[in-house]
Structure 1
């Protein structure tokens, strides 16, 4: 399967602005995938003759990087994102570990993605694994699942993954931090510079059940992360709810207040996030492609 490394139409200026400028910080401070999740994804590629990964909302390429670093064999990686800055970071991270695997970076919204070409004589070529890591909630679920069914190879797997955020985590120190953010930005959870976050109208499981990808198994992986005040501040700069651009001239004051709060909290007990990383691993029902 071959894809020219050129941008496709799709992302709006608002979508691009959401993560503009955060890519380097994102690569440094965003938590990666748990080892158990990487093994689960790698297992879906076993016995596939020329495994192809389509990673939608790839960000800085965390999913393909984790798979390649764990020794998974991939023939081709198709990494799609609305942010050219994120794609630049993905290229820098992935190029040293590609070996014989080819990489195409596609600048597009996920629901606008289309494969550009397939090899002659291979009508059933397409991705063997389609992944969404902490990205599906930003997308038009019905449209991207329909697209995934249209482009995926027979017998392919699809994985929607995520673990919430420090905004949603129910610990004392995260609640105090959320209240401080709300003090500066107002009670609503922000979604970048263009509005407030709206909860999805349906659960991801419901979206899958209503799609071609209705054969679903859920995997819940417990993860304990210990944060420092510096790592929390770095993480917040990458988020849509507390990125630097949201605070304007007040960002330095916010970070000073947040550092003081977190230092006090860390002095009383470690800043621990006991998260659950959920993988919804889906396939088409028997008899479908």
Structure 2
């Protein structure tokens, strides 16, 4: 089973995308020239590529899961602006080879950096990023961080079904012990800037289930024949935190922008 077996439809519908103001801010790091190219690494179902479309004329988005790419193709192809180009590629970041001569003005890696061979990918990108270009690594806090009572309660339900350690498909999740900024500072993109973008979200039981089923730690296949039991338990647990099936979340994106030294 891959990390995201059975998740693409949930991922596309229930994973929060990036805020419009974050997309616009990322675009300000792009050199002022045309055509303007974006490489979106670990695109999943294309949420970031879609948000960045208004700012780029040429986009390559890659993911190693063919079902994710197929879902992205179906969702994004009708939305490509006239005169723009979009290529969706099934490939790992480590194996990606853009067309000869193609270089990105901006690389986006959202919620995927922890799955990569980070050092190798950053060095590979040195040959794939145009002069004056940048690499943006960013993510919001994971549901697993459980910074609200209702999240913590749902997390305990997941642990009750799948074990104490956070799952990553059939494996357990391996945490990185170095800040991403430190890793980037040792790469060709050593000039690193950080900023945060706050987000406020509102969930209900259906969207919480959908989000969980989009993750590697609570993918439907992990529950086997106990999936319906899991859903019922989550539903009962959430009822203790809201009378109107409304659950609020305060979160933020931490963004790291890496550039080459002058």
Same fold (TM over 0.5): yes
Match of 2:72 in 1: 90
Does residue 1:153 correspond to 2:130, yes or no?
yes
Q: Distance in 1 between matches of 2:179 and 2:151?
A: 24
User: Equivalent residue of 1:66, what SS?
Assistant: helix
Deviation at 1:76, TM superposition (A): 1.3
Match of 2:222 in 1: 246
Match of 1:136 in 2: 113
Q: Out of 183, 187, 197, which is 2:164 matched to?
A: 187
Query: TM-score, length-normalised on structure 1?
Result: 0.87
Query: TM-score, length-normalised on structure 2?
Result: 0.95
Does residue 1:104 correspond to 2:73, yes or no?
no
Does residue 1:176 correspond to 2:147, yes or no?
no
Deviation at 1:270, TM superposition (A): 4.2
Q: Distance in 2 between matches of 1:173 and 1:21?
A: 25
Deviation at 1:154, TM superposition (A): 0.5
Q: Report if the CA contact (8 A) 2:6-2:220 is conserved.
A: no
Per residue, is there more strand in 1 or in 2? Answer: 2
Q: Distance in 2 between matches of 1:172 and 1:67?
A: 34
Gaps spanning 5+ residues in structure 2: where? none
Q: Deviations over 1:204-260 (max 9, x none)?
A: 111101111111111111111111011000100011111111111111101100011
User: Equivalent residue of 2:109, what SS?
Assistant: strand
Does residue 1:127 correspond to 2:104, yes or no?
yes
CA RMSD of aligned residues (A): 1.5
Match of 1:75 in 2: 57
- Report the count of equivalent residues: 261
Kindly report which structure 2 residues correspond to 1:176-215, keeping only aligned pairs within 5 A, or say none.
176-193=153-170, 195-215=171-191
Match of 1:264 in 2: 240
Gaps spanning 5+ residues in structure 1: where? 1-13, 119-124
Q: Distance in 1 between matches of 2:16 and 2:241?
A: 21
User: Equivalent residue of 1:275, what SS?
Assistant: strand
